[in-house]
């Protein structure tokens, strides 16, 4: 009964309505319709944006002799050198270097001396002079070069206004060609990596020239039929279709759940004091352990329930797809991944928020959680980058089941650690609440005495 009352209190609060709004927005922007599009694409319709970039629906069985089978992540030195050099020349000529420290864009402009150093790197890779670099032929690089698109040359505008590019030569090694007309690396791959590392040092962290970024943007190659059928089999048999979608769904949801529940937790725990209800509650018989446990469960339910409901938007079409095609899916994939990947994140956010709010009776937990979320977002790669202390498990792809198999143990360890930390935080919250409730940890007087003056000054300033 208390659980229902607490759940109602949360669900009818403004902060919860805002949370639901943000959750829906994030889901709609990132995941809504992906499943239906993938299913339609397996019948020849347009695929979702998620699999467009990898060449088509993950549910479409590759047919031998097709024009292409999409892309696969692969470290092909020529492609990486071509893409990396192309980007470096573009940025050098504009003296505008994009960097993403902590995942946020920052433009870097280099000094004349630093520009000279970059020029010497480009000269060594291309074997060209400064003059030649400034006047490269239009088709020096392929039209589509990883994340770079060169207008002109092979680009042609279609009737609907879109552009098409000829990429047929992009895989061709051009060693025998004239290195002044087409890009031909004049250094070994090892030396190229050293030069990129130097460029990264000059430009700063988060530039395009770290190996991670080079692999991310230029480490893709067209799949062979065997590779394509292998990918398809992994989706159908290893992932039982729905697991692939469940992972992507959780990837988008985890960014929301790694931060926003903290607002619900903090507002919820400060509500008693703000409404001068804490003494009415604390003088009642209820045990502290029961009060905190029930309230925590109510918060977790309020946060996880809408996520489970949203997962049906993907699960229902998949079940229909399974019924139509006879391909077996895992009907519990979403619930399993929500409980395995998302719940520990939500619990640790709730635990931290509960602990810090009860300890300090301030909203400091929001700041702490934001810092944790921000750092975690910045240092964690989009896929296959789970570490022991990772807050949010990322897997921003419908493919890549092998990454999960590879990281299986560390993911379990990580989730176990998050659960353990949460339990410790909730236990400490109970101890502190109990002490404060009984007046044993009465530092309100001390805080008022020593910090009350700052509070008053702040209030006066705002009132002015």
Residue 271 CB, nearest approach to other proteins (Å): 7
Strands 144-145 and 163-164: unpaired
Residue 447 CB, nearest approach to other proteins (Å): 12
Residue 438 CB, nearest approach to other proteins (Å): 5
Residue 12 CB, nearest approach to other proteins (Å): 8
Terminal Cα distance for the chain, rounded: 46
Which residue number, 112 or 275, has a Cβ lying nearer to other proteins? 275
Which residue number, 222 or 272, has a Cβ lying nearer to other proteins? 272
CB-CB contact of 59 with 241 (8 Å): yes
Q: Which of 76, 68, 385 is nearest to 227 (CA)?
A: 68
Q: Which of 404, 279, 415 is nearest to 338 (CA)?
A: 415
Alpha carbons 43 and 59: distance in angstroms, whole number: 9
Q: DSSP class of residue 103?
A: G
Which residue number, 21 or 438, has a Cβ lying nearer to other proteins? 438
Which residue number, 446 or 462, has a Cβ lying nearer to other proteins? 446
Q: Which of 256, 260, 250 is nearest to 350 (CA)?
A: 260
CB-CB contact of 311 with 249 (8 Å): yes
- CA-based R_g, the chain, Å: 27
Which residue number, 238 or 287, has a Cβ lying nearer to other proteins? 287
What the block records as the tokens of 380 is 């964690």
Alpha carbons 196 and 73: distance in angstroms, whole number: 20
Which residue number, 159 or 285, has a Cβ lying nearer to other proteins? 285
Residues contributing to the site for other proteins (CB under 8 A): 1-2, 5, 9, 12, 271, 275-277, 279-287, 291, 437-440, 442, 445-446
CB-CB contact of 388 with 410 (8 Å): yes
Question: How many Cβ atoms from other residues are within 10 Å of residue 431's Cβ?
Answer: 15
Residue 265 CB, nearest approach to other proteins (Å): 17
Q: Which of 200, 226, 231 is nearest to 213 (CA)?
A: 200
Which residue number, 162 or 285, has a Cβ lying nearer to other proteins? 285
Residue 5 CB, nearest approach to other proteins (Å): 5
Residue 4 CB, nearest approach to other proteins (Å): 9
């Amino acid at each position: 009964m208390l659980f229902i009352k607490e759940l109602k209190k949360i669900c009818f609060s403004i902060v919860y309505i805002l949370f639901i709004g943000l959750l829906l927005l994030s889901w709609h922007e990132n995941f809504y319709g992906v499943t239906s599009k993938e299913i339609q694409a397996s019948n020849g319709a347009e695929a979702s944006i998620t699999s467009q970039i990898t060449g088509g629906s993950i549910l479409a069985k590759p047919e031998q002799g097709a024009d292409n089978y999409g892309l696969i992540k692969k470290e092909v030195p020529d492609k990486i050198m071509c893409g990396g050099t192309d980007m470096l020349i573009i940025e050098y000529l504009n003296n505008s270097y994009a960097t993403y420290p902590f995942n946020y864009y920052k433009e870097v402009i280099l000094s004349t001396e630093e520009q000279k150093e970059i020029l010497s790197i480009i000269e060594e890779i291309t074997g060209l002079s400064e003059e030649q670099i400034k006047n490269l032929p239009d088709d020096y690089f392929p039209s589509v070069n990883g994340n770079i698109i060169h207008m002109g040359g092979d680009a042609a505008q279609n009737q609907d206004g879109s552009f098409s590019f000829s990429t047929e030569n992009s895989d061709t090694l051009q060693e025998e060609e004239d290195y002044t007309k087409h890009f031909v690396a004049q250094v070994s791959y090892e030396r190229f990596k050293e030069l990129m590392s130097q460029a990264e040092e000059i430009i700063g962290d988060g530039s395009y020239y770290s190996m991670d970024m080079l692999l991310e943007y230029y480490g893709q190659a067209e799949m062979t039929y065997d590779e394509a059928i292998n990918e398809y089999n992994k989706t159908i048999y290893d992932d039982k279709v729905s697991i692939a979608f469940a992972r992507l769904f959780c990837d988008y949801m985890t960014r929301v759940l790694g931060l926003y529940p903290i607002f619900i937790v903090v507002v919820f725990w400060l509500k008693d004091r703000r409404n001068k209800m804490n003494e009415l509650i604390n003088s009642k018989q209820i045990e502290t352990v029961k009060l905190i446990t029930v309230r925590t469960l109510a918060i977790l339910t309020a946060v996880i329930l809408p996520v489970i409901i949203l997962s049906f938007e993907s699960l229902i079409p998949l079940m229909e797809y399974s019924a139509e095609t006879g391909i077996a899916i895992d009907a519990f994939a979403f619930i399993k991944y929500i409980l395995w990947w998302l719940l520990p994140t939500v619990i640790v956010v709730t635990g931290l928020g509960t602990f810090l709010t009860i300890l300090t009776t301030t909203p400091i937990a929001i700041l702490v959680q934001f810092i944790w979320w921000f750092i975690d977002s910045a240092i964690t790669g989009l896929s296959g980058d789970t570490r022991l202390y990772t807050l949010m498990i990322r897997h921003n792809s419908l493919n890549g089941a092998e990454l999960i198999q590879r990281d299986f143990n560390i993911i379990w360890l990580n989730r176990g650690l998050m659960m353990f930390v949460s339990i410790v935080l909730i236990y400490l919250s109970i101890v502190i609440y109990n002490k404060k409730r009984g007046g044993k940890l009465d530092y309100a007087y001390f805080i008022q005495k020593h910090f009350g003056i700052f509070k008053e000054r702040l209030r006066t300033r705002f009132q002015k």
